[in-house]
């Protein structure tokens, strides 16, 4: 498979959302042009993004909405269950835990963790909050695919390390800080430590988004300017 730009995966998520809306409206067929208009990209970009994963449409006929939706669900790995723990059960962590849409995409919250003694033992949406020190024991008893970090920035690195130590391979970081995987210095080079190999970190930075909004509000003519260095 050719190297797939991260931006293309993000656009697949957008296309899936559009297809779900079309299905709710009983629309059975769509086209790259229609998807492009709704997603704010070009028809060429839609076709290019989909071509990374196969051939889904018929020339001149477009795409069958349920079929393309099913294929994108498969490509994105949303046709299986994903077990998720949340680290940090303050206001943000509780809001994430109570978000109703996660289970629609096979994301199942299976554990909540914090270090605040006032929160340990309390329940959120039927799940008991455990101390973060018990995370490794928990993952030995319950398979966990992803961990959501909803902790203050100064706690995020240690919390991420706890997830990696527990064998969690996907980390969604809501803290406005960069997670640095632990490394080991070797003669002539640096390696990732064993527990960090294969771990994927995605960042959800609200503050960064606000900063981008501020810039584009002041410079709206730059928002949709093409970037000649971006082949995607």
Radius of gyration of the chain (CA): 21
Do 78 and 101 contact (CB within 8 A), yes or no? Answer: no
Q: Was 89 annotated as part of a binding site?
A: yes
- Locate 27 and state its tokens: 């629309």
Q: Helices then strands (H, E): number in the chain?
A: 8, 11
How crowded is the C-beta side of 96, counted as CA atoms within 13 Å?
25
Q: Was 124 annotated as part of a binding site?
A: no
- Nearest C-alpha neighbor of 66 from the set 28, 116, 35, 110: 28
Q: Was 90 annotated as part of a binding site?
A: yes
- Whole-angstrom distance, CA of residue 3 vs CA of residue 12: 15
Tell me how crowded residue 191 is: count the other CB atoms within 10 A of its CB. Answer: 11
Q: Was 88 annotated as part of a binding site?
A: yes
Q: Can you say which residues are annotated as belonging to the binding site for NAD(+)?
A: 88-93
Per the annotation, where are the binding residues? Answer: 88-93
């Amino acid at each position: 498979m050719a190297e797939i730009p991260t931006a293309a995966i993000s656009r697949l998520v957008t296309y899936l959302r559009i297809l779900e809306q079309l299905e709710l409206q009983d629309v059975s067929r769509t086209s790259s042009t229609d998807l492009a208009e709704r997603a704010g990209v070009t028809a060429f970009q839609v076709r290019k993004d989909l071509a990374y994963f196969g051939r889904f449409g018929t020339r001149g006929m477009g795409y069958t909405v349920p079929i393309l939706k099913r294929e994108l669900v498969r490509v994105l790995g949303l046709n299986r269950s994903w077990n998720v723990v949340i680290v940090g059960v303050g206001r943000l962590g509780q809001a994430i835990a109570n978000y109703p849409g996660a289970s629609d995409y096979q994301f199942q919250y299976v554990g909540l963790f914090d270090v605040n003694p006032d929160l340990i033992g309390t329940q959120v949406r039927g799940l008991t909050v455990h101390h973060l020190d018990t995370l490794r024991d928990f993952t030995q008893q319950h398979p966990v695919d992803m961990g959501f970090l909803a902790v203050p920035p100064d706690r995020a690195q240690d919390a991420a390390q706890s997830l990696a130590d527990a064998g969690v391979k996907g980390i969604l970081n809501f803290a406005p800080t960069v997670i640095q995987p632990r490394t080991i210095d070797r003669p002539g080079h640096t390696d990732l430590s064993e527990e960090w190999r294969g771990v994927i970190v995605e960042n959800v930075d609200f503050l960064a988004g606000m900063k981008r909004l501020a810039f584009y509000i002041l410079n709206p003519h730059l928002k949709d300017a093409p970037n000649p260095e971006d082949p995607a």
